[in-house]
């Protein structure tokens, strides 16, 4: 086996890997966008009908579908331009290697404890709040248009930011790692038709950021004092303090930690044996 053949194999492997990574991030962002999911479903249905029409030799249906297949992509680009742009923006904001440090167990618990202490005070005093925790997908688009803080996370600071009549009260807070990066952020609201009409702007903004990124969005209702968490394009409404704490700790845990934990358990089992 000469060097030319080895290099040819390596370049083909790299080529295939790049294609798979591209499709992975496309599908990942499509999954988090309701309208894009509907587009994909529609395209799949049309292709299935096209195959059936070819098999059954349905001439009229076949001709119509040929026009749809030929001009459909152009129509989709024109009609769903905002959604396609949103997916491309999400791809551009995605960080392949991660920008922020992975929190240790102690740091993660401190972050969650400070957030939960602030949420408990806010819900008892019926003060609305929106706290967004950045994960892998960058929220720089929203950070750039907000008031920068760059302070260590603290329950008193969060309570002060959302206190009524505060200039930053109506916006959202973005947390990166174990620091409050900014306040007064304005997020795009969700257009999900299944969302209850009783839910206000904060809940819709929380779901909106959860639909276009992998961020965790915590909402304290001003009217009811209820806690909600938006993540992975879903809104978990009316959570207890303990439920919220458990979900935050679980979602903020790095995936690699699970493997370390299992390895430790196996080691403990071997020692016990």
Cα–Cα distance measured from residue 215 to residue 135, given in angstroms and rounded to the nearest whole number: 5
Q: What is the mean pLDDT of residues 139-146?
A: 86
Put simply, whether the predicted model's pTM sits higher than 0.75 gets the answer no
Separation in Å, CA 71 to CA 4, 75, 77: 43, 6, 10
89-140 tens-digit pLDDT: 655 554 443 444 578 888 999 999 999 999 999 999 999 999 999 988 888 8
Tell me if residue 212 falls in helix, strand or coil. Answer: helix
Range with the poorest average pLDDT among 59-63, 144-148, 195-199, 259-263: 259-263
74: pLDDT confidence band, cut at 50, 70 and 90? confident
Would you list the DSSP string of 25-83? Answer: HHHHHHHT-HHHHHHHHHHHHHHHHHHHHHHHT-HHHHHHHHHHHHHHHHHHHHHTHHH
The domains located in the chain, with CATH, are 3-93 (no CATH), 105-253 (3.40.1700.10)
Q: What angle do CA 196, 137, 209 make, to 5 degrees?
A: 20
Long-range contacts from 242-247, C-beta under 8 angstroms, 24+ separation: 244/116, 244/119, 244/218, 245/112, 245/116
178-204 tens-digit pLDDT: 999 999 999 989 888 778 878 889 999
């Amino acid at each position: 086996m000469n060097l030319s053949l080895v290099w040819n194999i390596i370049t083909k492997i790299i080529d295939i890997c790049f294609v798979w990574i591209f499709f992975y991030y496309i599908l990942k962002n499509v999954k988090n966008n309701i309208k894009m999911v509907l587009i994909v479903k529609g395209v799949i249905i049309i292709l299935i009908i096209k195959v059936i029409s070819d098999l059954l030799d349905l001439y009229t249906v076949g001709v119509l579908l040929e026009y749809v297949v030929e001009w459909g992509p152009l129509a989709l680009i024109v009609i769903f331009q905002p959604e396609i742009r949103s997916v491309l923006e999400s791809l551009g904001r995605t960080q392949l290697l991660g920008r922020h440090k992975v929190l240790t167990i102690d740091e993660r618990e401190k972050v969650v404890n400070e957030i939960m202490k602030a949420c408990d005070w806010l819900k008892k005093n019926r003060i609305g709040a929106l706290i967004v925790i950045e994960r892998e997908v960058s929220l720089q688009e929203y950070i750039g248009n907000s008031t920068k803080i760059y302070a260590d996370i603290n329950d008193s600071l969060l309570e002060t930011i959302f206190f009524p009549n505060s200039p930053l009260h109506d916006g959202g807070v973005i947390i990166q790692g174990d620091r409050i990066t900014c306040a007064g952020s304005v997020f795009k609201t969700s257009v999900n038709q299944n969302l209850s009409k009783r839910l206000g702007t904060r809940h819709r903004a929380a779901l909106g950021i959860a639909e276009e990124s992998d961020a965790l969005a915590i909402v304290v209702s001003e009217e009811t004092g209820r806690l909600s968490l938006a993540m992975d394009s879903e809104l978990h409404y009316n959570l207890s303090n303990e439920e919220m704490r458990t979900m935050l700790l679980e979602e903020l845990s790095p995936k690699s930690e699970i493997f370390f934990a299992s390895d430790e358990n196996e080691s403990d089992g071997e020692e016990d044996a």
